Chain A
């Protein structure tokens, strides 16, 4: 239910409306009930007061009369008083009680209640009140009969001062049975009406809301389909009301989205096309230049020194240009999101060793490689699903970068495998870099120190491309460095295609550095 309340606007609003209706109907119903029941009671009270007053007068008269005449005995008079007939049928269930007040000259034999009435029907407090006052009083009470039956009623009491025959309390009790029934009827009717109203309001709210919400639901459905890629989906629009305006606006949004997407797709296509054209147009003359340079270079022995050197420079610069072009095209392929992975199972250890040999073929071992396998074996393949060409490129870039900055100190390469990831760390102890430089390290064409001679002739795109390559594998490439303490580059890749990295087997900050608080 709570779930439905949260997920469905119709259920929530209907629930709210019904709740509010119950409160309002409850308030109105109870006010109505009070008014009606008070009215019924008041009417009965007024009639009863009049009746009680007339019956008291006649009682006073009878008592007074009994003083002068040698008339009926006190018993007869008492019986007369107690059973004086009611003036109308409404007063059936009327009872009378009379109590002489001692020491007021009253005749104690005029004490009694009508047939089965128990004196306890008249509360003692009420009697005190009546004895002290000259005016009649009334109170609601339970009329108790001998034999245990009881009914709701009204008692009216007054002090009867018969100047010659002393004082009496006289009480007239009226049953409220009929009124109770009337009031119960009113109450039941109110309950029923309230319940029916609440249900009806709930039903109406539900129907109206459903009607209102239907286009919203439709819009949500269509929005989901748009998101899923069906750009042709549109809302049906009828009339000119707010819902229709929603429909129009929605359709316009969908149309504009479609236009934007098509425009971007077109731009991306244009971009890829441009890259491919540039690639072709630049590469053909470059090939010619390269061949011409090679022919010159091959014949360099016949040249005088200046020409000889020129031929050398020409070839090396064409090669550099070629590298730059390749990197630029690669970058633009990343930008166009047109980079394609060619995944295969490759041995990371083998790749690292190949890369080390490639960047540093000499016998002088500056670079050391350490392999840690999850199952404790060493010098065995570490298989990973990766694009060999890209991983090769990352490794060569990291190693070239380390060799550019190692300042003659050793470079440590570690290869680590866990169940889920593989990682390669390249740690040098060279010039390092500061925080500011670290932030720009992977920027295109950024150079750590412009005044520093480039020893390896990189393109300035290496680290940037490596980062993109790592991301393409769902991997990470991170860098740590401290000026004068060297740098650490860590490449972490998921071991299996489609996997994600859950841990980093190689710490970015080397242990020795963390211990010294750096």
Chain B
């Protein structure tokens, strides 16, 4: 059964999240302190982490960094602030998505589903983007002989771009494709993750060759096999 770790210091909210997620068919572990997350995370190895930003012990952004050092598990931040700096700090720390309180529980479940879905359809090997080879079965990407670890979201993002090499994706298109959003208003999510992804896969993130920016529109895949 898919397990979700809910980290929130508000007992009632955590309990309510438990009820909603149980109702959606997930197993839920509740953690109320930031400094208790890592122990339980190692023991339980959850499939997804719901992480509040304000936590006693260590704050959510720090917890996010700690988890990212060990695991590529999907992380969804819960924030009470819609303010740019908090959101961006969370995303830069490695969170895949975020929900602003008070959120619609139906939407929360929908987002969690998107994050947990495995791209099982049309699995094909030999998908390339730039000089990078994507193995969708092993869920790895290889540059030369070097295997680059990616989070699931980063992998999905790269696959989305690589599947349609000629297409220019707008940020909104990527949002609905990768994050599963309907009202596509927050494009910061895309910007931050494209940057994170570039810092991992590009030889020179300042002059990207794998994920190209199309000014004023969005992004597209680099030409496969181009020299790096």
User: Closest Cβ of chain B: how far from A417's Cβ, in Å?
Assistant: 18
Are B105 and A285 in contact, with the CB atoms below 8 A? no
User: A292 within 8 Å of B by Cβ?
Assistant: yes
**Contact of A294 with B102 at beta-carbon distance under 8 Å, contacts A276-B81, A280-B81, A288-B13 already known:** no
A287 interfacial contact with B, CB 8 Å: yes
Encoded as 1 (CB less than 8 Å from any A CB) or 0, chain B from 103 to 115 comes to 1111000000000
Q: Does A284 contact B (CB under 8 A)?
A: yes
Q: Is B120 an interface residue (CB 8 A)?
A: no
Complex: how many Å from CA A344 to CA B171? 13
Query: By the criterion CB–CB under 8 Å, are B20 and A287 in contact?
Result: no
A104–B198 alpha-carbon span in the complex (Å) = 139
Give A276 to B187 CA distance when docked, in angstroms: 23
Query: Which of A279, A284, A295, A392 interacts with B13 by CB under 8 Å?
Result: A284
Contact B16 A288 (CB under 8 A): yes
Q: Nearest 5 A-B pairs (CB), nearest first?
A: A280-B80, A287-B102, A283-B101, A286-B102, A287-B101
> Contact mask A258-302 → B, CB, 8 Å, 1/0?
000000000000000000100110011111111110110000000
A240 within 8 A of B: no
B105 to A288, Cβ gap below 8 A? no
Over the window 136-165 of chain B, the binary record of Cβ atoms lying under 8 Å from chain A Cβ atoms (1 yes, 0 no) is 000000000000000000000000000000
State A291–B20 Cα separation when bound (angstroms).
Answer: 7
A388 engages B102 (CB within 8 Å):
no
Complex Cα–Cα for A265 and B106 (A): 41
Taken together as a complex, chains A and B put the C-alpha atoms of A287 and B104 apart, in Å, by 8
Complex interface: chain A residues within 8 A of B102 (CB)? 283, 286-287, 289-290, 322
Asked if A320 is at the interface (CB within 8 A of a chain B CB), the reply is no
Q: Is the CB of A294 within 8 A of B101?
A: no
- In the complex the two chains form, what is the Cα distance from A388 to B54 in whole Å? 28
Q: Cα distance A345–B216 when bound, in Å?
A: 8
> A292 to B106, alpha carbons, bound, how many Å?
12
For window 360-406 of A, CB contacts with B under 8 Å fall at 388-389, 392
List 17 other contacts, CB 8 Å, given A279-B81, A291-B16: A280-B54, A280-B80, A280-B81, A283-B80, A283-B101, A284-B10, A284-B13, A285-B12, A287-B16, A287-B102, A288-B16, A290-B102, A290-B104, A294-B105, A295-B20, A340-B83, A340-B84
Selected contact of B84 from candidates A279, A284, A322, A342, CB within 8 Å: A342
Is B89 positioned at the interface, with any CB of A under 8 Å from its CB? no
Contact A291 B80 (CB under 8 A): no
Shortest distance between the CB of A291 and any CB in chain B (Å)? 5
Q: How far is the CB of A76 from chain B (nearest CB, A)?
A: 129
One digit per residue, 1 when the CB lies within 8 angstroms of any chain A CB and 0 when it does not, for chain B 164-184 equals 000000000000000000000
Report the bound CA distance from A344 to B196 in whole Å: 21
Chain A residues bordering chain B, tally (CB within 8 A): 23
Question: A284 contacts which of B19, B23, B80, B187 (Cβ < 8 Å)?
Answer: B80
Q: B185 near A: Cβ within 8 Å?
A: yes
Instruction: Verify if B223 is at the interface (C-beta below 8 Å from A).
Output: no
Query: CA–CA, A344 to B20, complex, Å?
Result: 37
CA distance A287 to B23 in the complex (A): 17
Q: What's the least CB distance linking A298 to chain B, in Å? A: 8
Contact partners of A388 in chain B: CB under 8 A: 185
Contact B19 A287, beta carbon cutoff 8 Å: no
How would residues 338 to 352 of chain A score, 1 for a CB under 8 Å from any chain B CB and 0 otherwise? 001010110000000
B105 contacts A295, C-beta separation under 8 Å: yes
Bound-complex Cα distance A415 to B216 (A): 22
Contact residues of B between 183 and 216, Cβ < 8 Å to A: 185, 187, 216
Q: Which residues of B contact A283 (CB under 8 A)?
A: 80, 101-102
Distance to closest chain A CB from B71 (angstroms): 26
Complex CA gap A284/B10 in Å reads 8
B17 beta carbon closer than 8 Å to chain A: yes
Known: A284-B10, A287-B102. A292 touches B16 (CB 8 A): yes
CA distance A285 to B185 in the complex (A): 26
Tell me the bound Cα distance from A340 to B86 in angstroms.
14
- In the complex, how many angstroms separate the beta carbon of A153 from the nearest chain B beta carbon? 103
State the CA gap A283–B78 with chains docked (Å): 11
- A284–B16 Cα distance when bound, in Å, is 11
In the bound complex, residues from chain A placing their C-beta under 8 Å from that of B84 are 340, 342
In the bound complex, CA of A283 to CA of B80 (Å): 6
- The answer for the CA separation of A512 and B209 in the assembled complex, in Å, is 58
Partner of B104, one of A280, A288, A294, A342: A294
CB distance from B89 to the nearest CB of A (A): 14
Chain A contacts for B105, CB-based, 8 A: 290-291, 294-295
Closest to A318 in B: B102
Contact partners of B104 in chain A: CB under 8 A = 290, 294
